[in-house]
Amino acid sequence: MAAAFIDFNFNKQVLNAIADAGYTEPTPVQQKAIPPILNGQDVMGIAQTGTGKTAAYVLPIIMKLKYAQGEHARALIISPTRELAMQIEENVQAYSKYTDLRTVVLYGGLGPKTQIENIKKGVDIIVATPGRFMDIYLAGHIHTKPLQVLVLDEADKMMDMGFMPQINRILEIVPRKRQNLLFSATMSDKIHQLAGNFLEFPTVIEVTPQATPAQTITQKLYYVPNVKTKINLLRRLLDEEENAITKLIVFCKTRAVAEDVYKYLVRKYNQKEVKVLHANKGQNTRINSINSFKDDEVKILVATDVASRGIDVSNVSHVINFDVPMVYEDYVHRIGRTGRALQAGEAITFCTPAETYYMGKIQKLIRQTVDVSPIPDDVFIEETPYEERQDQNREIDLQKRKEDPDFKGAFHEKKTMSQHKKFDAKKLKANPRLGAKNPTKKFKKKH
């Protein structure tokens, strides 16, 4: 195992860039991935976010390409979201600063004109989201013949987001003879299948047990009855840990919840201290929100899962899961925003009765039991409104039905007589031939 970056035989340009980035020693994923990548092997890396995997593949790519050459890209890095694509491109620029390598980033959400112009100036490394890459390729602006290295980053997220058709098309248009690198935080059946199609005799590296949160993260769980109590608890934690919470991401399951939490926090603090990030926000707003948070201009970022992967923000002291994620792997990605680069971090989850099922599945996935903390005495516990209680009961019924298809549930009780009458009247109206005297009887006879 390499104890220092110099042991990889990187050239002076790469080593200087590493020193500028403030890295002193390689992380476990870098120790395991860099040698086989430099050796030209296909690599499959199971590594969660925050382990330094971007540098694990970008540094050897820069070392292999060395300098600008020709007009067309020799390395292609595909990522699921524009935020992650931008983050990777930033890293490539930083690590290649002492070379003349040219990098272009391609993503949707804005017109392709500038991106196409950048490609035409000459490019060595393309970082792209699958859809935008295919659009520009089909328009005739990308030549894939010179490609030597293809990277699929956050492959599991690409599966979840339904990018498989685009990935298959990309695999059809890139040269057969190339080096392939695939990175994923989790190892699902779909990833196994993709690896089988994509990689040839790969070196498989797994730096932490599958879907295990970093050891530096302290996890806490609060069982709360409803959304209003979640808000009260959030306020209490922010007040109590004012000194401890230096940088916080609050994750919400929907855009609507994210907006509500954001509006509440803006009233409590002010707009200068809080930003919100979700898919409904315009491209520039999203970039500004991330940059403000990254540059310590704002203390709190409220986000949906669009931000849970690949946004490399250092020194995030806390993550609060305002809602339990329904995609279990997203829990690992959310809490992976803190505790990065061996720093300590805290991940706190609020869980209602309807979310207990998902929390159980998450704990099974991460092979850990998250410590339950009691709600502090001075947090006001709200009564659950009727509508929210009904929604929770419906959700619990659905969960029980998932586990046991024969489960009837509280919402599957026998219809009352008045409901029967309404039902019969509707049937009769739809089909008068059933007869008016005893529609139910005739209906049964007919069927």
The enclosing H or E element of 202 equals none
Please tell me the distance from the alpha carbon of residue 183 to that of residue 153, in angstroms, as a whole number.
5
Q: At 328, give phi and psi (nearest 5°).
A: -60, -40
Written as six digits, the tokens of 81 are: 């979201």
> Using CA atoms, how far apart are residues 59 and 61, in angstroms rounded to an integer?
5
409 Rama class: left (phi>0) / alpha (psi -120 to 50) / beta: left
Pairwise CA distance, residues 304 & 58, whole Å: 28
Q: Running DSSP on this structure, what letter comes out for residue 113? A: H
CA dihedral in degrees (47, 51, 57, 62; nearest 10)? 180
Residue 62's pLDDT is: 96
Within the chain, which residues score under 70 in pLDDT? Answer: 1-2, 48-50, 208-214, 241-243, 279-283, 306-312, 329, 339-343, 408-424, 426-427, 429-447
CA distance 315 to 432: 70
Asked if residues 332 and 341 have their Cβ atoms less than 8 Å apart, the reply is no
217-386 shares the fold of 5-206: yes
Cβ–Cβ under 8 Å, residues 16 and 98: yes
**Alpha carbon distance 103, 118 (integer Å):** 9
Q: Which tokens sit at 141?
A: 């602006």
Q: Tokens for 184, please give them.
A: 């994923």
Say how far apart CA 266 and CA 148 lie, in whole Å: 49
Helix (H, G, I), strand (E, B) or coil at 253: coil
pLDDT at 435: 57
The neighbour count for residue 129, using CB atoms within 10 Å, is: 26
User: What pLDDT, on the 0 to 100 scale, is given for residue 445?
Assistant: 43
Q: Please provide the size of the chain in residues.
A: 447
CATH architecture assignment, domain 5-206: 3-Layer(aba) Sandwich (3.40)
Would you state the structure tokens that stand for residue 269, as one six-digit string?
């603090």
Closest CA to 59 of 7, 129, 106, 133: 7
- pLDDT attached to residue 311: 62
Query: What pLDDT score does 444 carry?
Result: 45
Class of 217-386 in CATH: alpha beta
Amino acid at 432: P
Of 20, 23, 209, 47, the C-alpha closest to 8 is: 23
| Separation between Cα atoms, residue 97 and residue 20, nearest integer Å | 10
CA contacts within 13 A on the Cβ side of 174: 24
252-311 residue pLDDT tens:
988 889 999 999 999 888 777 898 877 666 667 777 888 888 888 888 999 887 655 546
* Predicted local confidence at residue 411, as pLDDT: 54
Q: Output the pLDDT for position 155.
A: 87
From CA 206, how far away is CA 257, in angstroms rounded? 35
Domain chopping of the chain, boundaries? 5-206, 217-386, 417-446
DSSP state string for 409-420: -GGGPPPPHHHH
Q: Which residues 6+ apart lie within 8 Å of 410 measured at CB?
A: 393, 397
Q: What is the largest CA-CA distance in the chain?
A: 94
Q: Which of 217, 230, 260 is nearest to 375 (CA)?
A: 230
Distance, in Å, from the CA atom of 85 to the CA atom of 357, rounded to the nearest integer, reads 33
Compute and round to an integer the Cα radius of gyration of the chain.
26
Q: How far apart are CA 280 and CA 292, in angstroms?
A: 18
Q: Which residues contact 58 (CB under 8 A, 6 or more apart)?
A: 77, 88, 91, 92, 95
Judge whether 331 and 178 are in contact, CB under 8 Å: no
